[in-house]
Amino acid sequence: MTSELDPVAAHNRSAWDREVESGNEWTVPVGPEVIAAARAGTWSVVLIGHDPVPPDWFPPTLAGVDVLCLASGGGQQGPVLAAAGARVTVLDNSPRQLAQDRLVADRDKLELTTVLGDMRDLGAFGDECFDLVFHPVSNVFCPDIEPVWRECFRVLRPGGVLLAGFMNPDIFIFDADACENRGELIVRHALPYSDLTHLSPEERARVWGLDAPVEYSHSLTEQIGGQLAAGFVITAFRERPHLVGATADYMPGFFATRSYKPETLRPA
C-alpha cells in the first residue's frame, strides 16, 4: 500500500474524521440491540439510502464468509455482518470512522479487522482472499474509480460477489446552493463534476464549508461500464431517491449493483 496519500484523499481523510466529530448519520455506530439481533439471525444493512439490501443479494449464509467492507467505516455495516457470522475486514480512509467499528467490535466482542487505506489501493490484501466486497456509496469522494473496480476484482475469489452503491451523476448538474437552501432545481453544471473545478473556494466555503469532503460525479460508463471492464458480471440493479431535498420527487439519487467475478474469465 502506498505510504502517502494524494491531496484529495488526505483532505477527505481529515474531512471524514470531522464528520465523526459532528455526528454525521453515517458515522454513528449501531447499538448492542442491533448486534444481538444479528447474532440471532435477524439483520439488514444498507447500500444506498436507507433501504435494506435485498437478502438474496447475499450468500444463503454468512457463516465463514470472508467480507471486505470497502470504504465502509462508521460502525454500521461491518459489525452487523460480523455478528451475522462473516469474517469481516473494514477498510476506510478515515481513522475516526474505523474507530467506530472498533468501538462496536470491542463492546460486543466481535471478531473484526480494520485497515486504514485508500479504496483505490488494496495492496494490503493478496489476490482472491475475499468472498464478498460490500462497497456502499463512497466512491463519490474518489477522483478516479477505475482502480477501485480493478482492485475489487483482484481481491475477490472466483464466484465472489461485489455489492456496490453509488450516486446518480445527474444530481450534480444542479446548483447546490439553490437545491440546499431554496429547494430549487437550477441546471448549472456540465458533467463530469468536481467540487474543486466547478465551485470557487468562496462558494465551496459558503455552501459546504472548505473542510467538507470533496465530491466527484462519475458517469454510468465509469460506474457500470467500469465494473464490466474489470471483468464483473452484473446480476441485479436497484435505484432509490434521496429521502429529502429538491431532487427527491423527480429522480433517483442512488444506484446499486450486484456483480460477481466469473469462475472463468470471459473472452476479450
Residues 107-138: pLDDT tens digits?
Answer: 999 999 999 999 999 999 999 999 999 999 99
- % of the chain with per-residue pLDDT over 70: 97
- pLDDT of 102 reads 98
Q: Is residue 2 over pLDDT 70?
A: no
The answer to whether residue 175 is domain-embedded is no
Query: Rounded CA gap, 54 and 51, in Å?
Result: 9
pLDDT tens per residue, range 207-254: 999 999 999 999 999 999 999 999 999 999 999 999 888 999 999 999
pLDDT tens per residue, range 79-111: 999 999 999 999 999 999 999 999 999 999 999
**Residue 76, domain extent:** 7-169+217-260
Query: Rounded CA gap, 241 and 265, in Å?
Result: 35
The answer to whether residue 189 is domain-embedded is no
The answer to whether residue 227 is domain-embedded is yes
0.85 exceeded by pTM? yes
The answer to whether residue 205 is domain-embedded is no
The answer to whether residue 182 is domain-embedded is no
Q: Is residue 156 over pLDDT 50?
A: yes
Q: CA nearest 133: which of 143, 148, 115?
A: 148
- pLDDT of 4 reads 74
State the Cα torsion 61-65-68-69 to the nearest 10°.
30
**CATH value at residue 159:** 3.40.50.150
Which residues fall within 8 angstroms of residue 30, CB to CB, at 6 or more apart? 75, 76, 79, 80, 104
DSSP letters, 64-102, are T-EEEEET--SSSHHHHHHHTT-EEEEEES-HHHHHHHH
- pLDDT of 1 reads 40
Write the CA distances from 60 to 36, 160, 163, 257, integer angstroms: 20, 13, 15, 18
For the chain, the average pLDDT equals 95
The answer to whether residue 253 is domain-embedded is yes
The answer to whether residue 149 is domain-embedded is yes
Q: What is the three-class DSSP state of 44?
A: coil
pLDDT tens per residue, range 22-45: 999 999 999 999 999 999 999 999
The answer to whether residue 200 is domain-embedded is no
State the total domains in the chain.
1
- pLDDT of 149 reads 98
pLDDT level of residue 265 (50, 70, 90 thresholds) = low
